A and B are shown apart, each in its own frame.
Chain A
Amino acid sequence: MMLTIRNLTVAVEGRRILDGLDLDIAAGEVHALMGPNGAGKSTLANVLAGREGYEVLEGEALLDGQDLLTMEPEARAQAGLFLSFQHPVEIPGVSNLQFLRTALDCLRKARGEAPLDSAALLRAAREAAQVLGLPADFLKRGVNEGFSGGEKKRNEILQMLLLEPRFVILDEPDSGLDVDALKLVAAGVNRLRRPDRAFLIITHYPRILEYVRPDRVHVLHGGRIARSGEAELAHQIEAGGYAAVLEGSVA
């Protein structure tokens, strides 16, 4: 397994949000994690990425056998983890190009590779920006500075394309996107699908799953995976809501 989560129990300000969650994702697979508001989907994403403010009470999360939960956020990224943020932050004064170059240099250094030369980075970044429909002056602008919600989401995908992580968590990559932008984001994900890479797509709605077909769909409820199934499960949720698919499940 690429990602193995066992009995993960997490509290925020004393309240249990995840409660004994188990999840396995194999290399080459795309999994979708769905669930109603407040189910803890983003908590899982944040805990895996190493954001502060979450108390892990029990359990473990292994990426390629490495214990993620004991690592600093940068070490998790260097181990191959990438979180596409639900609400990417704006960082005025740090240009996208400077940010991408620094991140790529750090990741390549951690992997024992030489820094990418500037011309190659510039070429790759421009090409990715064009594919994703980001404005021409995007690389000079501050990270996410003045970007619309859709541009921020596309910038997350651009970073994913350039940083080439092994395990990607997309936290609601579809929220706030029109259908054209959604197709661009989905195309970006599909472009990176490879036998040695895996994805966890967190979403409320099955819409994005029409463009990125998942191998497995999970429903998070009561702090754990309450139901898992094939891609068809997403359509059942669309048709009958969460209540219908969770009926009779163990929560």
Chain B
Amino acid sequence: MNTALAVCHPCGWAEDAATRAWHERLAERFATLTPPTRKNEFWRYSRLSACFAPERAGRGLDCSFPEVEPLAGEWIRLDQGPPVAVHTRAWRLRSWSELDEATRARWRERLEPGEDYFAVRNLVEADAVLLLELEQTTDAPLQIQYRHGAGWVQPLLLVEVAAGTRGALVETFSSFGPSTQNGAVHLWLGEGAELTHGVFTADEEQALLHRVRARLGARARLDVQAFAAARGYQRLEWDVAMGESATLRLSGITQGEPEGSTDVALRIRHAAPGATTDVRWRGLVPAAAHSAVIGRILIEPTGQRTDAAMRLDHLLLADGAAADVKPELEIYADDVACGHGATLGRLDDEALFYLRSRGIPEVEARRLLIDAFLAPVLQRFTLAEVLRHVQSRLSLPDDAAA
């Protein structure tokens, strides 16, 4: 079923004149930027020092990755940025150097860098610039496996799902040495396109910053299923612009790890009418772990008939667990239905006693209550690849029974 395509080794941007000029302007802008500080609301709870421990660019640095079995189905593996194995029929994968000028021009226009230090740095220093295109509906999810192990590794993935097409992507991340991955994926969903997008980071031990920028066409649908677990520092960002009557369903779980810090930032903009956003994120935080989720839904005056809901809930499993949760709605339209809420709590002692009084040992009783807490999000995980990963990782943290 799988066809191994030629392995390609793109190296960032090709040197055509238009891209060179565009890239120079980006580099000039980057020279004026500094890393965000805690004064910036979306970086207030971030622990950025870990990101800057590896100083050099990762390209060309020695790094060995373990031999692993090929994945089943459709998959791509990127080591230190560029793809080293490509097995997909449904999607078309091309590096920037393989694109025609019209396609390059279209994407240069779409890649509005903004003022974010890490976003601009990813564009300026990209190790690999890859375009993935889906033009026919496929039920088989494409797995994208990122591995990094030395220096700063900065893959940039451009994804275009054609109008009326349906597909699924699952991104997984793992690290094999001191390094920082500052990656980005730009999703462009045509009219009526549907994408299910899984993000799984539990094999990640180093610093990871991963940005998802999504532009949803009219009636397009994006279904995000994310599981974040960090032993190092991890930041996941979604920046989504909603088209008319588009739908975003964003479901996520953070499983904190001792000494780890996971930082999730969500920015969703409704500038077109009739779109629906439904965000539900739940976090488990053991001792010495930190989890932050900051979400903002902005509804412009043109975003009439928006239906938006955001729930961010965290369970603190032990003393010394820390979480910062902040859902925000900014509404400039008058005909909308919006709701948001957040909770930070501990396991219910009454429920715990009730279960134990029926002969269930404390560790198992806690497990049942944690599973119950996660159930509303887990029920929304439909990608078998994500569910399999998640179920293997949702073990009770060691100190959760304390």
Q: A residues engaging B (CB < 8 A)?
A: 49-52, 72-74, 76-78, 82-83, 85, 88-89, 91-94, 98-99, 102-103, 106-107, 110, 142-143, 159, 163
Q: Do B357 and A91 touch across chains, with their CB atoms under 8 A apart?
A: no
Contact of B359 among A88, A89, A110, A143 (CB under 8 A): A110
Report the nearest A residue to B363, measured CB to CB: A74
Among B353, B373, B375, point to the contact of A52 (Cβ < 8 A): B353
Query: In the complex, are the beta carbons of A163 and B358 less than 8 A apart?
Result: yes
Q: What bracket does the count of chain B residues touching chain A fall in?
A: 20 to 34
**A77 vs B359: C-alpha distance in the bound complex, in angstroms?**
5
Q: Which of A50, A73, A78, A106 has the most CB of B within 10 A?
A: A73
A102 and B351 contact, Cβ closer than 8 Å, known pairs A91-B372, A93-B371, A93-B376: no
Residues of chain A contacted by B373 (CB below 8 angstroms): 93
Whole-angstrom distance between the alpha carbons of A110 and B365 in the complex?
A: 16
Q: Could you say which of B353, B361, B362, B372 contacts A51, with CB atoms under 8 Å apart?
A: B353
Q: With A93-B373, A106-B364 in contact, do A163 and B359 touch (Cβ < 8 Å)?
A: yes
A143 to B352, CA, bound (A): 12
Closest A residue to B358 by beta carbon equals: A103
Dominant SS among interface residues on chain B: helix
Besides the contacts A76-B357, A77-B356, A106-B364, what 18 more A-B pairs have beta carbons closer than 8 Å?
A: A50-B353, A50-B356, A50-B357, A73-B357, A74-B360, A77-B357, A77-B359, A89-B351, A89-B354, A91-B369, A93-B375, A93-B376, A94-B371, A102-B360, A102-B368, A103-B355, A103-B360, A106-B358
Binding site for A on B (CB under 8 A): 348-351, 353-362, 364-365, 368-369, 371-373, 375-376
Residues of A within 8 A of B357 (CB): 49-51, 73-74, 76-77, 82-83, 85
**Residue in A88, A91, A93, A163 whose Cβ sees the most chain B Cβ within 10 Å:** A93
A91 vs B353: C-alpha distance when bound (angstroms):
11
Docked CA distance A64–B226 (Å): 52
Q: Which residues of A contact B371 (CB under 8 A)?
A: 93-94
Contact B362 A52 (CB under 8 A): no
Q: Is the CB of B376 within 8 A of A102?
A: no
